[in-house]
Amino acid sequence: MLPQYKTVKQWGSDEIVIKKSRFIGQAQPVETEEEALAFIESVRKEHWSATHNCFAYVIGERDQIQKASDDGEPSGTAGKPILEVIKHQGLKNTVVTVTRYFGGIMLGAGGLIRAYTDGAVAGLAAAGPVRMVLHRDVYVTVDYTWLGKLENELRNRGTLLGETEFTDKVTLHCRPLDEEAERFVLWMIDLTQGQSEIVQGEAVYIEHQD
């Protein structure tokens, strides 16, 4: 798993008008090609009367799945520019569609490339780029006498925390960076003088705003 990657936070949409043609850019995070295709199909159904519904997507840790479609526009003037915007922004697991409603004025190849580029940029900006950073769930169980000290030390260290569980003892749900998890566990053992029960859980991606 990658230590971190960039994608978009959520579905987003924005519209620009160029020489009376409407270009509606939409973007959404996806985990699989099936999700990307389902999103594209939903856009086609929503904008069934549009002149073109062009798209591109990039999926996988190594960007191994990349597709683009001009949907009837001159070859290379729509899908490829959208794909290049995704790649230029360094985004993964992202699908972008740009819908065009023709306004009656021809744009030419250069104009189309610029229009679909700008439409993709607008859609991605509306979706909100984020960094997904890999953390590790670490559960630390101690007597209540340790709670104040641990909370203070964890706050000073800047460790992300999940929900704390209170039973006969207290369990802190810590979320250090995955690559620092082993060092974190050793630090916690030392901090509690070996008086803690520590369980490592799953690796999980957490959103970080730039």
Q: What six digits make up the tokens of 134?
A: 């890999």
Task: Give the chain's mean pLDDT.
Answer: 96
Q: How confident is the model at residue 65 (pLDDT cuts 50, 70, 90)?
A: very high
Please work out, in degrees rounded to the nearest 5, the angle formed at the alpha carbon of residue 91 by the alpha carbons of 73 and 11. 75
CATH class for the region spanning 4-127: alpha beta
pLDDT of the residue at 108: 93
Domain residue ranges of the chain, discontinuous segments joined by +? 4-127, 131-208
pLDDT of amino acid 77: 97
Q: Assess whether pLDDT exceeds 90 at residue 111.
A: yes
Residue 96: pLDDT band with limits 50, 70, 90:
very high
Instruction: Name the pTM for this structure.
Output: 0.86
Other Cβ atoms less than 10 A from the Cβ of 49: the count is 6
Are 4-127 and 131-208 the same fold in CATH? no
In angstroms, the Cα distances linking 96 to 9, 51, 93, 195 are 13, 17, 10, 51
Which CATH architecture fits 131-208? 2-Layer Sandwich (3.30)
Rounded to whole angstroms, how far apart are CA atoms 128 and 161? Answer: 24
Place of tokens 């679909």: 116
Average pLDDT over residues 11-16: 97
Q: Are 100 and 23 in contact (CB under 8 A)?
A: yes
- Which pLDDT score, from 0 to 100, does residue 210 have? 63
Using one digit for the tens of pLDDT, what is the confidence trace for 147-178?
999 999 999 999 999 999 999 999 999 999 99
- Report pLDDT for 7: 97
The 10s digit of each residue's pLDDT in 117-151 is 999 999 999 999 999 999 999 999 999 999 999 99
